[in-house]
Structure 1
Amino acid sequence: MNNNDILRRLRYTFNFNDKQMVAIFASAGEEVNREQVSQWLKKDDDSDFVALFDTKLAVFLNGFINEKRGKKPGAQAIPEKRLSNNIILTKLKIALNLQAEQIISLLSEVDFRLSKPELSAFSRKVDHKHYRECKDQVLRNLLQAIDKKYHVERSKKIASPTDSQTKARNDKGNYAKKKQNKTPPSSPWVEGARPNASSVYVNPNSTTSPKRQRLKLAK
């Protein structure tokens, strides 16, 4: 597979920003800048596209292992000068702490069938009689399966203070319009009086209490 494509897929799946990408390289002992990362992530037909060499991808995958599993004390693993799909698969397996059964299950989720002996053959040494080369189809489907399981959703846009202030002004304006267009009650009412106030007026300055009427009960 194309090294740049692998880098793009992992960056997309785990939603790494440029700063995180730079940090992943740094954790594996390689200093890179944002411009380099941006060039590696460009589409192949972009004028600013720069091919990612095997050594650089090996460094990133080593850093990816550090990111996911924690960096071990001691000397950092030496990046391979030449990568194969078998090595890339092994590094992904280590980074995500995947067992053989889990990889087979992941692949089945994207309708790709792989047996345990076939998977085991990818981890053999090149000179082993049971060694098998990992084809692009296997690695491509594994990356697709990893994306399906581990894809990190991008966070929603956070409203800026300006947006909040604009919303507050709009809400205030809408409230004023509603108050202005409010329909007055149908019954007669006095400005400033409560609509549901009693219609019986009592003089607050009166010194005499109102007489109570006695009701006569029919005999």
Structure 2
Amino acid sequence: MENNDILIRLRYALDIKNTDMVKIFQLGGIDVTKEEVLKILTKSNVEEPELDQQLRINNSKLESFLDGLIIFKRGRQEPKPGQPENPPKINESINNVLLKKVKIALSLTSEDMIEIFDNAGIAITKGELSALLRKKGHKNYKECGDKFARNFLKGLAVMYRD
């Protein structure tokens, strides 16, 4: 799944306004204008690529947006003594990062996450969820596929929009 598609679905699920999108990007350390946000949120034109106006974002920018979402929803956390000011970027699948950071931003419990997947028609156990939320390199780490990420965002929309 493309990063822009993830942002479009996340924006819809959480009903985030364009001005808030700009603010969230800024909280994540990226300066964008409202016009650039609109270009990021436009669907890509597959039939006529020369007319494609979409502004594509990479994994780093998406992760910065998710960091900004955490600050937007929960407030800025002061770093503890000896802790770096800006946390290092996570070196794993962007889908796993999406699950982790949305869980933090919305203060979701594992039961909430299982319910979100259930809303999308996916049955997932606590153990499977735990494997998706683990750090890469852990013996039980499992990479989150596009299907799980898409269904998570779908379940999120069901939970927050209905």
CA distance in 1, matches of 2:13, 2:2: 17
The root-mean-square deviation of aligned C-alpha atoms, in Å, is 1.9
Unaligned runs of 5+ in 2: 46-50, 80-84
The match for 2:157 is 147
CA distance in 2, matches of 1:123, 1:99: 12
**2:25 aligned with 1:20:** no
Q: Quick one: which of 97, 107, 110 aligns to 2:117? A: 107
Q: Which has the higher contact order (CA 8 A, sep 6+)?
A: 2
**2:101 aligned with 1:96:** no
Query: Over residues 57-108 of structure 1, what are the superposed CA-to-partner deviations in whole Å (9 max), with x where a residue is unaligned?
Result: 1111011111111121343444457752111110111111111111112211
Q: Decide which structure has greater helix share.
A: 2
Q: Quick one: which of 96, 99, 123 aligns to 2:133? A: 123
Is the CA contact 2:119–2:159 (under 8 Å) kept in the aligned structure 1?
Answer: no
Aligned-partner residue type, residue 26 of structure 1: Q
TM-score relative to the length of structure 1: 0.64
Question: Percent identity, aligned pairs only?
Answer: 38
CA distance in 2, matches of 1:101, 1:22: 31
Structure of larger gyration radius: 1
Q: Quick one: which of 120, 131, 148 aligns to 1:138? A: 148
Give the deviation of 1:18 after TM superposition: 2.1
CA distance in 2, matches of 1:82, 1:41: 24
CA distance in 1, matches of 2:43, 2:26: 24
The match for 2:38 is 38
The match for 2:82 is none
Provide the aligned length of Structure 1 versus Structure 2. Answer: 152
Is the CA contact 1:54–1:80 (under 8 Å) kept in the aligned structure 2?
Answer: no
